[in-house]
Chain A
């Protein structure tokens, strides 16, 4: 108190500094580096749209012509990329995808109107990163259906992949309903459980018999 009386300006300085710290804190807090551009509901709609997909046969035209409008990104790690990838593909591993420089790069590509096609060994491996980029608002990012595995199998004859649909996701390879496995109800399952356990016990009994 005595200090204040001697130097009344100090309170004012402390007050200004206090306010400054709070303001700086607020600014940095409310601005996360990356923000979602899509809500979960919009994301669900987005994943079923065809525009997010890049079909293997589209690679054929792209690889033979000049690829100014499409950039391939290999999301696997550097080691796997080194062992072989799609020609002209760049390597940005999924772990580093959201680094500052990579995000800047992706924003640049988006502004330039370049489509980015992400891929990994399978479509499954690229699905998560693709969905994250899409949710961040990179509408130019597509996913390579079938992934690198499908490309490797077909690389000499990519154009013919147009007549093939084995890479399309969501298909049932079997008619599950006709499988002997169709469960009628839960009690039937319980009964089945019992039989399988009995069988195991019988095996043990046989060993014991041998002992006698």
Chain B
């Protein structure tokens, strides 16, 4: 019977020794295939150009813009405050300073959104959280922020609100003046307000 206890002790010691081997096997931390696929189908991983513009204008300290295009393209043009992490160097460890920061939202962008999305998939697999893709990329950025198009007269109110934000963003990012049509629309609003003021005057 005593021998049995000795066997038990030896077995437990052997298993304890096995723990030294185990962590090496599972050393590759990150996201497994199923979880990665689940994250990929979530539409919340995309950021619109409107959201990005708003965060830049409001100087949101939690946004980290990441330009995944090659360095030459980054140097000729990029978004304000963006850092350059070319797609092929995203696995280099020292970029963890930009990607692996708690409370920061990293937004990937490229000319369109494919390269940025590829960077997203790789970064997500490596275990980085709070990362997003700017949908449409810089092409869409130009279409919405630098050359905003006025919505049709019949478009819903939300479209006009979006357009107004974009006009402001256009001024912010390029210094261009809003177009003539927009001016007419604005004065219309002011006239309405004047009427209200007149009623207040009558009260005095």
Contact = CB atoms under 8 A, between A and B. Distances in A.
Contacts of A172: 73, 111, 138-139
Contacts of B97: none
B76 interface: yes
Given A8-B1, A19-B11, A210 B175 contact: no
A47 B172 CA distance: 36
B176 A180 contact: yes
B11 A30 contact: no
Contact of B121 (A19, A132, A136): A132
Contacts of A12: 4
Contacts of B1: 4-5, 8, 11
Given A4-B1, A11-B5, A211-B197, A128 B41 contact: yes
Contacts of A212: 197
B114 A127 contact: yes
Contacts of A182: 77
B113 interface: yes
Nearest to B7: A15
Contact of A211 (B25, B125, B142, B200): B200
Nearest to B90: A44
Nearest to B1: A8
B182 interface: no
B64 interface: no
A36 B33 contact: yes
A68 interface: no
B4 A15 contact: yes
B87 to A, nearest CB: 6
A132 B11 contact: no
A12 B4 CA distance: 7
A101 interface: no
B41 A169 contact: no
B201 to A, nearest CB: 8
B68 to A, nearest CB: 10
B115 interface: yes
B77 A179 contact: yes
A79 interface: no
A123 B137 CA distance: 14
B171 interface: yes
Contacts of B90: 40, 44
Interface string A37-70: 0001101100100000000000000000000000
Nearest to A94: B41
Interface string B40-71: 11000000000000000101000000000000
20 contacts: A4-B1, A22-B15, A36-B125, A40-B91, A40-B122, A44-B87, A95-B37, A128-B37, A128-B121, A129-B40, A131-B122, A132-B33, A177-B77, A179-B146, A179-B174, A181-B145, A181-B174, A186-B80, A210-B197, A212-B197
Interface of B: 1, 4-5, 7-8, 11, 15, 25, 32-34, 36-38, 40-41, 57, 59, 73, 76-78, 80-81, 87-88, 90-91, 110-115, 117-118, 121-122, 125-126, 135, 138-139, 142, 145-146, 168, 171-176, 186, 190, 193-194, 197, 200-201
Interface of A: 4-5, 8, 11-12, 15, 18-19, 22, 30, 32-36, 40-41, 43-44, 47, 94-95, 97-98, 123-124, 127-129, 131-132, 135-136, 169-174, 176-177, 179-183, 186, 189, 192-193, 195-196, 199-200, 203, 206-207, 210-212
Given A124-B117, A177-B77, A181-B142, 11 more contacts: A15-B8, A34-B32, A127-B121, A128-B117, A129-B37, A171-B112, A180-B175, A181-B174, A192-B173, A195-B171, A211-B197
